[in-house]
Structure 1
Amino acid sequence: MMRTGKTLLLIGATSDIGRATALAYAVAGWNVQLTGRNLDAVEREANDIRTRSGGAVSVHQLDILNSDGIEAFADALPAIPDTVVCVVGELGEQARAEREIGHAAMVMRTNFEGPALLLGVLAERFAARRAGTIVGISSVAGDRGRASNYVYGAAKAGFTAFLSGLRNRLTSAGVRVLTVKPGFVRTRMTAGMKLPPLLTAEPSEVAKAILSAAEGKKSRDVIYVRGIWRPVMMIIRCIPEPVFKRLKL
């Protein structure tokens, strides 16, 4: 396998999408830096990827909710990556978030605050180098607030806006910022949910879309996985508020 000499930093290595994305990059010849809170769990993922790809994989500890440690984490990386992909996310429980402020805060911080702060720190290094690609995994849930998951959706909406502003700012610095919006994905996070097959992707499908977009094979800055979500969400966004309030979504 031809090595590219490029490095991927994968934030959220123990998630299903994170694992699939890291493997896709490793198979494509990239060096991979994996992160997570539990180093033992991250190392298990790294060993599996090394075995299946023959690539170079390193592990790094990171708690996305520890904002005080983000700059130290970035400073300690052995090399500034060519691409960073942040797949961190926590669906949480909407009903619980309505009752427990701590649970709501965890969902909001995991999906927005932590990823945004980390990517902001890395963006400064990319801008100084005048090169690099930043990929953030948001969600179609952030396109319009719905009663069934508005705490999660609000956090993802914030992350989408952050990525949009970062993209606008860094374009002139030669840094690409991509927003990837999966719809339903068959992962541990959605286990037990009844998912419509047409709208449901596999983790490997999301990984392929990320790699393809990051390598410039797709010109869009905002990638919907699957593409059918683009017209679906356009329709949902256009529903008048008086009508939308009466819908069970």
Structure 2
Amino acid sequence: MSVDPVLILGGRSDIGLALARAYAAQGHPVQLAARDAASLAPEQADIALRHGVEVSLHEFDALDTDGFEALLDSLPALPGIAISVVGLMGDQAESARDTSAARRVIRSNFEGPATMLAVIANRFEARGHGLIIGISSVAGERGRATNYVYGAAKAGFTAYLSGLRNRLAGSGVHVMTVLPGFVATRMTEGMDLPERLTTDPDTLARRVLRAGRARRNVIYVSRIWWLVMAIIRAIPEPVFKRLRL
């Protein structure tokens, strides 16, 4: 029985590589798409040798929306699973004073990933099956002063995934939204993360793999985040404006 290839957009990230290892361990061929993809040759060789699967590298820039169709055409095969791990946290203070910085954060977290998944969704729909997984963020559930540009972009991405899931229902193509909360990666290095609310890339990858097989719609990687965000969403606006969450 053949196993579907997995395309990982943002394959250079800690989460992307953890997902590559998790799926490869289950026998899936892996397609790693990232900027300067050739520099991932050591990771490519390690995953291929360790798990005995084909691993291919593909040049991908989430901001080069005109190149998305060509990227899919260049793949060894149309994947059965496509995962977007693309993201850029940026610096809120910089985004607030520099609109070009804010625009890059918004494009990296919303425009690029959403556009790429639109192209993939159309091909999956024409074929009649596939799984699309978008890594979004709990930051998108309510705008907060400390990260509202990033959060707004992730909110847009979460809404996009929801709409895409609704559109494709019954087509054989499923869309799953992942809300990780804090993840200990290079992107969060130096941040004082609360231990109980923080997961690691390998744990995240295992949970995504299981949830994808179960065709879940939306998952919080750590269940406690459902409660945390329910509380944050319930804070009245006059009170919320006095907080710096």
TM-score range, shorter chain: over 0.9
Q: Which residue in the other structure is 1:183 paired with? A: 181
- Is 2:142–2:232's contact at 8 Å kept on the other side of the alignment? yes
- Is 2:30–2:54's contact at 8 Å kept on the other side of the alignment? yes
- Is 2:89–2:187's contact at 8 Å kept on the other side of the alignment? yes
Aligned counterparts of 1:114 and 1:44: Cα–Cα separation in 2:
27
Q: Which residue in the other structure is 2:121 paired with? A: 123
1:69-111 Cα distance to aligned partner (Å, 9 max, x none): 1111122222111000110111110001111111111111111
- Is 1:233 the counterpart of 2:236? The answer is no
Give, as a single letter, the amino acid of the residue that structure 1 aligns with 2:219.
I
Q: Which residue in the other structure is 2:105 paired with? A: 107
Q: Which residue in the other structure is 1:247 paired with? A: 243
Aligned counterparts of 2:208 and 2:227: Cα–Cα separation in 1:
20
1:139-189 Cα distance to aligned partner (Å, 9 max, x none): 000000100000000000000000000000001211110000000000000
Q: Which residue in the other structure is 1:141 paired with? A: 139
Secondary structure, counterpart of 2:169 in structure 1: helix
Runs of 4+ in 1 over 4 A off after TM superposition: none
Aligned counterparts of 2:27 and 2:95: Cα–Cα separation in 1:
42
Give, as a single letter, the amino acid of the residue that structure 2 aligns with 1:177.
V
- Is 2:38–2:57's contact at 8 Å kept on the other side of the alignment? no
Q: CA RMSD in A?
A: 1.1
Shift of 1:52: 2.4
Secondary structure, counterpart of 1:5 in structure 2: coil
Give, as a single letter, the amino acid of the residue that structure 2 aligns with 1:42.
L
Show structure 2 runs of 5+ residues with no match. none
Aligned counterparts of 2:41 and 2:103: Cα–Cα separation in 1:
29
- Is 1:4–1:29's contact at 8 Å kept on the other side of the alignment? no
Aligned counterparts of 2:54 and 2:13: Cα–Cα separation in 1:
20
- Is 1:14–1:41's contact at 8 Å kept on the other side of the alignment? no
**Mapping of 1:1-249 within 5 angstroms?**
4-216=2-214, 220-249=216-245
1:10-56 Cα distance to aligned partner (Å, 9 max, x none): 11111000000000000111011111110222323212211322221
Aligned counterparts of 2:42 and 2:151: Cα–Cα separation in 1:
31
Aligned counterparts of 1:30 and 1:54: Cα–Cα separation in 2:
9
- Is 1:13–1:45's contact at 8 Å kept on the other side of the alignment? no
Aligned counterparts of 1:80 and 1:43: Cα–Cα separation in 2:
21
Shift of 1:211: 0.6
Give the count of matched residue pairs.
245
Give, as a single letter, the amino acid of the residue that structure 2 aligns with 1:24.
A
Secondary structure, counterpart of 1:45 in structure 2: helix
Aligned counterparts of 1:76 and 1:57: Cα–Cα separation in 2:
14
Secondary structure, counterpart of 1:172 in structure 2: coil
Shift of 1:231: 1.2
Aligned counterparts of 1:40 and 1:72: Cα–Cα separation in 2:
18
Give, as a single letter, the amino acid of the residue that structure 2 aligns with 1:21.
L
Shift of 1:4: 4.6
Show structure 1 runs of 5+ residues with no match. none
Q: TM-score, normalised by structure 2?
A: 0.97
- Is 1:183–1:226's contact at 8 Å kept on the other side of the alignment? yes
Aligned counterparts of 1:37 and 1:162: Cα–Cα separation in 2:
24
